[in-house]
Structure 1
Amino acid sequence: MTKVRIFADSISDIPQEWMTKYHIGIVPLYIVFEGQSYLDRIEMDTHEMYRRVKESGKLPKTAAPSPADFVQTFGPVIENGEDVLFISMSSQLSSTYQNALIAAREFPPGRVTFCIKQVFGFD
């Protein structure tokens, strides 16, 4: 039986206890704040982001992970014999899904499967 590892983008806000209990991996988006990029949940958490917004009065932007980010994240899992199920936000909201599709082409067919979260009626 094939093992499957679940991944989601960091915007999914999966509770930490679920990530730990079910070994769910996160592919971080980038938070771009005042010209600097930070990996969501790794280099900047939600509390720090809100603190900076309050202090500066400026809102951050986000940037999608690159195809290379996905290859780097999925590669070791696939090399370990597991398949990947990636849960992504809608392609209508971000290029995250498209970049994950590009990265999936680097692996044998069928090793990366996608599930798109439906948000606001988008697919």
Structure 2
Amino acid sequence: MEVRLDQGGMRRVAKVMLDKRFYLETITAVDFIDHFELVYLYSTYYQDVFRVITRIRIAKDATPFSVSAIYPGAIWLEREVYDFFGIRFQEHPDLKRIINPDDADYFPLLKNFGKTKFTEEIDDILC
């Protein structure tokens, strides 16, 4: 099942999913030319496997609310989305990079990702 939401419905849906005993499987993002789309995948194993995908369109400069108060495991998932896409989550308790260096000047899954100081240094070493 797939549901499209506005940004304001994100935490409301997360609460409903938790009440219905769904767990948050993952969060990711998609970089479009003029906006991002946040994708939340919820699953349950009650009787049969059932998945719900929620998609939220947000502006490039939007700061969506964290769902980590509802699903504590989202702390890591939102940190990963921040690290790769640069999306900052409001009310996140520990938003920082999870894989890339803290001083990185890039977000590698953005479509406009190109040469940076880091990639130029790597090119210099390898070439």
- TM-score, length-scaled by structure 1: 0.35
More helix as a share of residues:
1
- TM-score, length-scaled by structure 2: 0.34
Q: Which has the larger radius of gyration?
A: 2
> Whose RCO is larger (CA < 8 A, sep 6+)?
1
